[in-house]
Structure 1
């Protein structure tokens, strides 16, 4: 491991990604070695939204199948993660010392926004995993700040992974081979440019900066974790784009890595 644990933003697409890795799964698998020596992985997913921050503190978090209408094989999958309640208490203290109150959740497991990407990134499930909720009360500026506070954990060997989607419009999904809708491609290109240049002002107000945001994200929960990942990274990091085709016409699978 380098001096600091890595940071990622991962577009997690459909739950089917767990059994159909495609190009995006291959891309994640290429970077498994970056996480081998990490003390833990802290994941933020749009599928655990709360009013006020919550952090898992479970010895063996369960695999939550928080979706419906998919093949039975998907519901049989388990990601046998291990937790780290002691580290959760340390992170809780760190956040509270930086004005972010957080409660420990000693029951919750990992939702598919967490465990599906980890099946490709850490398939051996040997690295402790904690999940931090997405606080619906925090605005973009505060999410960037929270990401910066989480980034300080990297020197302890804690990798930060935020998941969601560069685009996420379920209304325009089509399970055929039609090309991506134009707004999805344009918004993906815009996000990549702003992330690469660390333009946090633009990223924190995409509804003002680009006309494509409302179509790319009819709701904001899959976009907001990106701000936490950007906040947890810094100028000194090496930045990489994990390119992958847009799936189902409107779901970007592009991800970003800072290490």
Structure 2
């Protein structure tokens, strides 16, 4: 059974960077069985109803401004897998999760920046999935759990977001790490590794510096979605964690 993953996508410029985190992503395909398809939840696609992307050929969305010109020339022309999209909607229905299909939306940078590092040839079908910040943390987990059987079919499930993601709190000139960011991530690490969902679902009340780390939850949601896909095995492994700009976390979690 193929593991599922959470990847922090950081700033859009991550796709141009050369550091320990991007090296991990670039080497991912060499250390992981080739998936037949990828299912990806992006923090940058928010919908009130769970939406399943099924564009025949995804356009590349440049949902950012002020970055290097090179980024706006990049494309990631992946195609969807409509049979897999059908199966995903069937699974959602089985779990009582309402869903709709979108056959025109492209891939935002939360999706393509990560995928371009993981699978630069864009030769694996991708089904993009939205997130909904208004659901409970338990509901987020259940959405991931609904898709867990896809892992048995060599489908790679990815949540793309960020555990510490406070753009107003970034220090663009900093080369250090803010202690509050590390304390929050360390608390999250403990709850993931012990699979303490009861505490994790209450992270905003229980975790240190939760308000600073997660001022809005759309980037945290993909972690819960990816975790839910690993409910059967309940094994979480931290593959990488580093920080940019003082507190923007770059982390990778594997769920089995």
Scaled by the length of structure 1, what TM-score is found?
0.93
1:190 is matched with: 187
Q: 2:105 aligns with which of 104, 108, 120?
A: 108
1:110-139 per-position Cα deviation (integer Å, ceiling 9, x unaligned): 111111111111122111011110023321
Q: Match of 1:31, SS?
A: helix
Q: Match of 2:160, SS?
A: strand
CA distance in 2, matches of 1:84, 1:170: 34
2:95 aligned with 1:80: no
Gaps of 5+ in 1: none
CA distance in 2, matches of 1:206, 1:188: 11
CA distance in 2, matches of 1:136, 1:216: 16
Q: 1:150 aligns with which of 138, 147, 150?
A: 147
- Equivalent residues in 2 for 1:122-201 (5 A)? 122-201=119-198
1:208 is matched with: 205
Contact 1:60 1:80 in 2 (8 A): yes
CA distance in 2, matches of 1:31, 1:258: 15
Contact 2:195 2:236 in 1 (8 A): no
CA distance in 2, matches of 1:214, 1:124: 38
Q: CA deviation at 1:73?
A: 0.8
- Equivalent residues in 2 for 1:38-57 (5 A)? 38-57=35-54
1:180-209 per-position Cα deviation (integer Å, ceiling 9, x unaligned): 111111111111111111111111111111
Q: Match of 2:243, SS?
A: coil
Q: CA deviation at 1:172?
A: 1.7
Q: Number of paired residues?
A: 256
Q: CA deviation at 1:103?
A: 0.6
Which segment drifts farther, 32-41 or 18-27? 32-41
Scaled by the length of structure 2, what TM-score is found?
0.94
1:70 is matched with: 67
Gaps of 5+ in 2: none
